[in-house]
Structure 1
Amino acid sequence: MQFVNEPERADLTLTFLGEGRAEVPERITRDLKPGMVRLLTRGGEGDGAVALPPSNAAQARELGAALAKLATDLGAQSIRVGETPHAEALTLATLMAGSQDARYRSEAKPGPIELAVEGLSDEERDRVEALMAGIRFARDLVNAPANVLNPAMLGRETRRLEALGADVDVWDSTEIEARGMGLLSAVAAGSAGGPRLIRVTLPARGEVKRVIALVGKGITFDTGGYSIKPAQGMTTMKGDMGGAAAVLGAMRALSALRDRLPEGVEVRAYVPAAENMVGPNAMRPGDIYRAANGKTVEVVNTDAEGRLILADALAVACDEGATELVDVATLTGAKTVALGNDVAALYSTDPDLTARLRASAEASGEFVWEMPLHAPYLKAYQKETLADLRNSDMVPAGGSIKAALFLREFVTRPWAHLDIAGNALQDGQATGWGVGTLVGYVLEE
Structure 2
Amino acid sequence: MSLVKTLERADLALVWAGPEQTERLTQGLKAGEVRLLARTEDGDEAVALAPASAREARDLGAALAGLARELKAASVKVPATPHGAALAQAALAEGWRERRYRQTPGTTPSLLVEGLSDEAHARLSALNAGLTFARELTSAPANVLNPVTLAREARTLEALGLDVDVWDGDDIQARGMGLLAAVAAGNATGPRLIRVTLPARGEKTAVLALVGKGITFDTGGYSIKPAAGMNGMKNDMGGAAAVLGAMRALGELKAQVPEGVEVRAYVAAAENMVGPNAMRPGDIYRAANGLHVEVTNTDAEGRLVLADALTVACEEGATELVDLATLTGVKVSALGNDIAALFSSDPALTARLKSAAEAAGEHVWELPLHQPYLKGYQKNTVADLKNSDMNPAGASIKAALFLQQFVTRPWAHLDIAGNATREEVATGWGVGTLVEYVLGRL
TM over 0.5: yes
TM-superposed CA distance for 1:209, in Å, is: 0.4
Match of 2:36 among 31, 35, 39: 39
CA distance in 1, matches of 2:92, 2:320: 32
CA distance in 2, matches of 1:130, 1:75: 25
Could you report, residue by residue, the CA deviation over 1:374-398 in whole angstroms, capped at 9, with x for unpaired residues? 0000000011111100000000000
- Do the aligned residues in 2 keep the contact of 1:286 with 1:299 (CA within 8 Å)? yes
- Do the aligned residues in 1 keep the contact of 2:30 with 2:49 (CA within 8 Å)? yes
The farther-off stretch of 5-14 and 409-418 is 5-14
Match of 2:230 among 209, 222, 234: 234
- Letter in structure 1 aligned against 2:16: F
- Do the aligned residues in 1 keep the contact of 2:164 with 2:195 (CA within 8 Å)? yes
CA distance in 1, matches of 2:370, 2:10: 55
Aligned to 2:304: 308
Q: Point out where structure 1 has 5 or more consecutive residues left out of the alignment.
A: none
Is 1:408 the counterpart of 2:415? The answer is no
Pairing of 1:258-277 with structure 2 (within 5 A)? 258-277=254-273
Aligned to 1:3: 3
- Do the aligned residues in 2 keep the contact of 1:71 with 1:111 (CA within 8 Å)? no
Aligned to 1:354: 350
Pairing of 1:25-174 with structure 2 (within 5 A)? 25-108=22-105, 113-174=109-170
The farther-off stretch of 221-230 and 45-54 is 45-54
- Letter in structure 1 aligned against 2:419: N
SS of the residue aligned with 1:13? strand
SS of the residue aligned with 2:40? coil
RMSD: 0.9
CA distance in 2, matches of 1:27, 1:348: 52
TM-superposed CA distance for 1:337, in Å, is: 0.9
Could you report, residue by residue, the CA deviation over 1:344-374 in whole angstroms, capped at 9, with x for unpaired residues? 0000000000000001101111100000000
CA distance in 1, matches of 2:422, 2:185: 30
Could you report, residue by residue, the CA deviation over 1:300-328 in whole angstroms, capped at 9, with x for unpaired residues? 00000000000000000000000000000
Is 1:223 the counterpart of 2:231? The answer is no
Aligned to 2:322: 326
Aligned to 2:14: 14
- Letter in structure 2 aligned against 1:100: R
Could you report, residue by residue, the CA deviation over 1:419-438 in whole angstroms, capped at 9, with x for unpaired residues? 00000012111001000000
- Do the aligned residues in 2 keep the contact of 1:68 with 1:112 (CA within 8 Å)? no
CA distance in 2, matches of 1:323, 1:234: 37
- Letter in structure 1 aligned against 2:213: K
CA distance in 1, matches of 2:366, 2:400: 12
Could you report, residue by residue, the CA deviation over 1:182-230 in whole angstroms, capped at 9, with x for unpaired residues? 0000000000100000000000001110000000000000000000000
TM-superposed CA distance for 1:17, in Å, is: 2.5
CA distance in 2, matches of 1:230, 1:71: 39
- Letter in structure 1 aligned against 2:79: G
- Letter in structure 2 aligned against 1:105: R
CA distance in 2, matches of 1:245, 1:56: 29
- Do the aligned residues in 1 keep the contact of 2:97 with 2:425 (CA within 8 Å)? no
Is 1:399 the counterpart of 2:395? The answer is yes
CA distance in 1, matches of 2:399, 2:234: 21
CA distance in 2, matches of 1:386, 1:423: 36
How many residues align structurally?
441
Could you report, residue by residue, the CA deviation over 1:148-193 in whole angstroms, capped at 9, with x for unpaired residues? 0000000000001000000000100010111000000000000010
Cα distance change, pair 283–68 in 1 and its aligned pair in 2 (3 A): same
CA distance in 2, matches of 1:204, 1:283: 40
Could you report, residue by residue, the CA deviation over 1:23-81 in whole angstroms, capped at 9, with x for unpaired residues? 10212110111101111222111111111111111111110111111111122111111
CA distance in 1, matches of 2:181, 2:193: 10
CA distance in 2, matches of 1:41, 1:194: 57
SS of the residue aligned with 1:278? coil
- Letter in structure 1 aligned against 2:126: A
Q: Percent of counterpart pairs with the same letter?
A: 70
- Letter in structure 1 aligned against 2:47: V
- Letter in structure 1 aligned against 2:83: H
**Which runs of at least 4 in structure 1 moved beyond 4 Å after TM superposition?**
none
Pairing of 1:251-290 with structure 2 (within 5 A)? 251-290=247-286
Aligned to 1:427: 423
- Do the aligned residues in 1 keep the contact of 2:17 with 2:26 (CA within 8 Å)? no
Could you report, residue by residue, the CA deviation over 1:129-164 in whole angstroms, capped at 9, with x for unpaired residues? 011000000000000000000000000000010000
Could you report, residue by residue, the CA deviation over 1:75-113 in whole angstroms, capped at 9, with x for unpaired residues? 2111111111210010111111112211011123x5661
- Do the aligned residues in 1 keep the contact of 2:57 with 2:86 (CA within 8 Å)? yes
CA distance in 1, matches of 2:48, 2:122: 26
CA distance in 2, matches of 1:7, 1:55: 26
- Letter in structure 2 aligned against 1:162: E
State TM-score, norm by structure 1. 0.98
CA distance in 2, matches of 1:331, 1:375: 19
Cα distance change, pair 112–200 in 1 and its aligned pair in 2 (3 A): closer
